Every structure is written in C-alpha cells, then in structure tokens.
Amino acid sequence: SLLTCWLLTTAQVNIESVPFNVVEGENVLLLVHNLPENLIAFAWYRGLRKIGVYILNTEVSVTGPMYSGRETVYSNGSLCIRNVTQKDTGFYTLRTVNTRGETVSTTSLYLYVY
C-alpha cells in the first residue's frame, strides 16, 4: 500500500551517544542521524533550556542559557560535550527548523554520566 511505502522512505531523526556509556571526565558526541532536508537551523536543549542554535546558511552558532563553554554544535547537527560531569546527566533535545521557520522534528535522548 501507499502508506507502507511512505513509512519505509521516511527516516526518523535519531541521536546516538558516542561513546554509549559516558564516564565523568570524558567527552561525548551526541551524533545525529537522518537530518531532514531544507533546514535553516537546529537547536539543542538540556531539559527545557537552550544550549545553542546553529544557523546553517551563515554557519553561525548562537549560545543559550545552558551553554557552559564545554559544548560545540556542529553543522551536521551533532553536539559535543567536553569533560562531562554527573551534572550533565539529563534529557538532551534536538529541534530542527525548516526554511519557513517551522519545527520539522524534535528528538530527545537521555544522557547518563557514570
């Protein structure tokens, strides 16, 4: 059926923690897979508070209130957190925004620091 074909060709954005088990003092990469097309920006949040926004057409990163100086948002949507502590444990959310300013996807991952 048409619906089956549509489901097979629509890939969901997902986030992978690299490494999977994060130990205090290490760096972690929240690696994004299957970013949608025609994005203008994406934003990372810890809990409900913004870490930063990356604007694709200007390649500019704008920090938010949860930015600690240890985070880097990359042009592929991924987020690197350096020298993690147990205080970094929590929900991380990636929101993607298209060229019309609409939210395309919202994907979350729970990061646990050992």
Query: Which tens digit of pLDDT belongs to each residue from 61-103?
Result: 999 999 999 999 999 999 999 999 999 999 999 999 999 999 9
Confidence of residue 5 (pLDDT cuts 50, 70, 90): very low
How many domains are there within the chain? Answer: 1
User: Is position 7 within any domain?
Assistant: no
- pLDDT value at 37 more than 90: no
Interacting residues of 50 by C-beta distance below 8 A, sequence separation 6+: 43, 44, 64, 65, 66
Question: How far, in Å, CA of 86 to CA of 78, rounded?
Answer: 20
Q: State percent of the chain over pLDDT 70.
A: 90
Whole domain around residue 77: which residue ranges? 17-111
User: Is position 59 within any domain?
Assistant: yes
User: Is position 71 within any domain?
Assistant: yes
Q: Which domain CATH number covers 82?
A: 2.60.40.10
pTM for this entry: 0.88
